[in-house]
């Protein structure tokens, strides 16, 4: 049995990230919906058999733990959520392992927090692990590590996590399954004339205004978080698809325009290095620059020189990642610095020729070289 033809916009997708939320995995009675999950697993197995590399980002640990621990609604305290996640993750993976094994597909579990992506070494190690799982024919299944996550290192919802993983493995397609068939030009729950949008060429502020929040007792996040995730990956050159995995199958979402909205990628594909700088790395400080420097880096493609620096905030070392902002405090870019915060403060506003005079030596002309700078 072969997989039906993809929609024309995603015909050549070979590496696919599929994100599934708690709403897809459970029924209205907050119990696992085995029929729906079996269909999802079957579709992923078929994609795998057709030569596609598929990674699954799955929510559902807390929801499954709620069932086992007899919670009627999502717990309010962090310890209770972590306890539910600990119990539920075992049940979730047991279900997946059982279903995928019937298709001869081994599975590998990876639990993550923000720290795993913000640290460059761990980021690269994770990337190598996921590619090795693909090479061995396994289906990687990823979830947030809710059992240990605290506010500072949590993603908060798996839409952002799935977008990050899509960029990490340089996926061709990011599929975000929800309980609605894509983006509408109005809230279909409130407007009978609301129209589903099959293709979005560019995510603009007007597109963002179409999104409205919709959450359930067992899920986190709504269309806004999904739209932000789509914007993130499309900027990195990856196609995004938000589709109905609740009433429709993954197969239908990939082949039927009525089952989801496709968001087309930007024309320029970011390198893995630039993706990490733009979306994953942890900023260690902020550099405020004047209008001339903003124009130089955003319009002329130049490096950031000391002459345009107005203020240094935070403590960082050479090689750390920082945010570049204008005088209005709007973030305009991110980059890896060539000088520490102490050195940067000393050379702020000076000409390149004067760097050695102020520091006693000059190792670089640029505070941030163009190759290590990403415009936001």
Which DSSP helix (H) or strand (E) runs through 37? helix 34-49
Which DSSP helix (H) or strand (E) runs through 162? helix 158-168
CB 213 within 8 A of CB 202: no
Domain assignment present for residue 124? The answer is yes
CA distance 131 to 111: 16
- Indicate whether 30 and 128 sit together in one domain: yes
Q: What is the predicted pLDDT for the residue at 27?
A: 65
Domain boundary (274, 309, 332) is at 274
- 193 Cβ neighbours under 8 A, 6+ residues apart: 186
Domain assignment present for residue 297? The answer is yes
- Indicate whether 231 and 368 sit together in one domain: no
Structural domain for 169, as ranges: 8-274
Domain assignment present for residue 21? The answer is yes
Domain assignment present for residue 242? The answer is yes
Q: Sheet holding 15-20: strands in order across?
A: 107-112, 139-144, 53-58, 15-20, 173-178, 239-244, 260-263, 199-200
Q: What is the predicted pLDDT for the residue at 215?
A: 45
- Indicate whether 147 and 37 sit together in one domain: yes
Domain assignment present for residue 3? The answer is no
Domain assignment present for residue 85? The answer is yes
- Indicate whether 98 and 33 sit together in one domain: yes
Domain boundary (247, 274, 301) is at 274
- Indicate whether 193 and 103 sit together in one domain: yes
CA distance 139 to 12: 20
- Indicate whether 185 and 215 sit together in one domain: yes
Q: For every one of its 376 residues, what pLDDT tens digit does the chain have, with 9 covering 90 and above?
A: 667 789 999 999 999 999 998 888 876 656 678 899 999 999 999 999 999 999 999 988 888 888 888 888 888 888 888 888 899 899 999 999 999 999 999 999 999 988 888 888 898 899 999 999 999 999 999 998 877 755 544 566 789 999 999 999 999 999 999 988 999 988 787 778 889 999 999 888 888 888 765 444 434 447 888 999 999 999 999 999 999 999 999 999 999 999 999 999 987 778 778 888 888 878 999 999 999 999 999 999 999 999 999 999 999 999 999 999 999 999 999 999 999 999 999 999 999 999 999 999 999 999 999 999 999 8
- Indicate whether 68 and 44 sit together in one domain: yes
Domain boundary (274, 292, 325) is at 274
CA distance 180 to 189: 10
Retrieve residue 231's tokens.
Answer: 């914007």
Domain count, the chain: 2
Domain assignment present for residue 2? The answer is no
> Does residue 202 sit in helix, strand or coil?
coil
- Indicate whether 59 and 118 sit together in one domain: yes
Q: What is the predicted pLDDT for the residue at 150?
A: 53
Q: What is the predicted pLDDT for the residue at 187?
A: 78
CB 358 within 8 A of CB 297: no
- Indicate whether 318 and 260 sit together in one domain: no
Of 119, 14, 112, which Cα lies nearest the Cα of 59? 112
How many Cβ atoms are within 10 Å of 300's Cβ, its own excluded?
A: 8
Q: What is the predicted pLDDT for the residue at 151?
A: 52
- Indicate whether 25 and 94 sit together in one domain: yes
- Indicate whether 153 and 21 sit together in one domain: yes
Q: What is the predicted pLDDT for the residue at 220?
A: 44
């Amino acid at each position: 049995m072969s997989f039906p033809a993809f929609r024309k916009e995603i015909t050549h997708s070979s590496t696919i990230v599929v994100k599934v939320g708690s709403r897809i995995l459970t029924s209205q009675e907050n119990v696992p919906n085995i029929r729906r999950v079996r269909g999802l697993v079957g579709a992923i197995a078929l994609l795998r058999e057709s030569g596609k590399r598929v990674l699954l980002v799955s929510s559902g640990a807390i929801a499954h733990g709620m069932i086992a621990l007899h919670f009627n609604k999502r717990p309010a305290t962090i310890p209770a959520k972590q306890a539910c996640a600990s119990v539920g993750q075992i049940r979730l993976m047991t279900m997946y392992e059982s279903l995928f094994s019937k298709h001869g597909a081994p599975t590998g579990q990876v639990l993550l927090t923000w720290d795993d992506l913000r640290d460059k070494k761990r980021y690269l190690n994770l990337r190598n692990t996921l590619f090795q799982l693909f090479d061995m024919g396994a289906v990687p299944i990823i979830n947030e590590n809710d059992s240990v996550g605290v506010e500072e290192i949590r993603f908060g919802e798996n839409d952002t996590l799935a977008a990050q993983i899509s960029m990490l493995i340089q996926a061709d397609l990011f599929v975000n399954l929800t309980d609605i068939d894509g983006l509408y030009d109005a809230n279909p729950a409130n407007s009978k004339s609301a129209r589903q949008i099959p293709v979005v060429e560019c995510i603009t502020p007007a597109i963002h205004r179409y999104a409205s929040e919709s959450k359930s007792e067992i899920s986190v996040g709504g269309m806004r978080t999904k739209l932000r995730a789509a914007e993130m990956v499309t900027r990195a050159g990856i196609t995004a698809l938000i589709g109905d995995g609740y009433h429709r199958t993954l197969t239908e979402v990939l082949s039927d325009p009525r089952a989801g909205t496709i968001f087309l990628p930007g024309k320029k594909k970011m390198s893995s290095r630039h993706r990490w700088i733009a979306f994953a790395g942890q900023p260690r400080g902020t550099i405020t620059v004047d209008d001339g420097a903003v124009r130089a880096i955003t319009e002329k493609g130049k490096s950031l020189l000391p002459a345009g620096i107005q203020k240094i905030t935070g403590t960082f070392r050479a090689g750390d990642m920082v945010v570049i902002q204008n005088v209005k405090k709007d973030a305009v870019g991110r980059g890896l610095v060539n000088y520490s915060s102490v050195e940067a403060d000393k050379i702020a506003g000076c000409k390149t020729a004067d760097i050695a005079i102020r520091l006693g030596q000059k190792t670089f002309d640029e505070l941030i070289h163009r190759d290590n700078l990403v415009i936001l």
